[in-house]
Amino acid sequence: MTAKVIYTGDLRTEATHLRSGTVIETDAPVDNKGKGERFSPTDLVATALATCILTTMGISGANHSINIDGTVCEVEKVMASDPRRIAEIKVFLSFPAGKTYTDKEKTILERIAHTCPVAVSLHPDLKQTISISWG
């Protein structure tokens, strides 16, 4: 088992990561009868893409001596209706100012952004827009 999720009422859940005990609470978004006071389940999907990109870049960076410390990833989720779903996830990666990357390093990192495990697990109809600023 990975997690235990409990519905706590008022369109909220509490998810506990079983190995670490870390807890994430979710709330329905304001546009879907919630309070929007926590991540929504669809926010977590979009955020999972960003965290996966950074994590796999970190792994590959360690293997290729590429330092990505301080890289920031901003995420925008675009919803569609009929049926209600995530239509697009926009990811804006900003590498730290002052760090330089070779063309080979950029190619390695860009490829990861499109092929991390979450990216390749999402439905092909879900548009993934990745923008990168090299600092």
Instruction: Tell me the residue range of the domain where 64 lies.
Output: 41-133
Count of other CB atoms within 10 angstroms of residue 75: 17
User: Interior CA angle at 42 toward 39 and 46, to 5°?
Assistant: 90
Looking at the structure, tell me whether residues 86 and 27 fall in a common domain. no
- C-alpha–C-alpha distance, residues 120 and 113, integer Å: 10
Q: Express each pLDDT in 72-116 by its tens digit.
A: 999 999 999 999 999 999 999 999 999 999 999 999 999 999 999
Both 47 and 16 in one domain: the answer is no
Whether 24 and 53 share a structural domain: no
Under the phi-then-psi rule, with left for phi > 0, alpha for psi from -120 to 50, and beta for the rest, what region is 33?
A: left
From the centroid of its chain, how far is CA 133? 17
User: Which CATH number do you get for residue 95?
Assistant: 3.30.300.20
For the entire predicted model, the pTM comes to: 0.94
Domains: count for the chain: 2
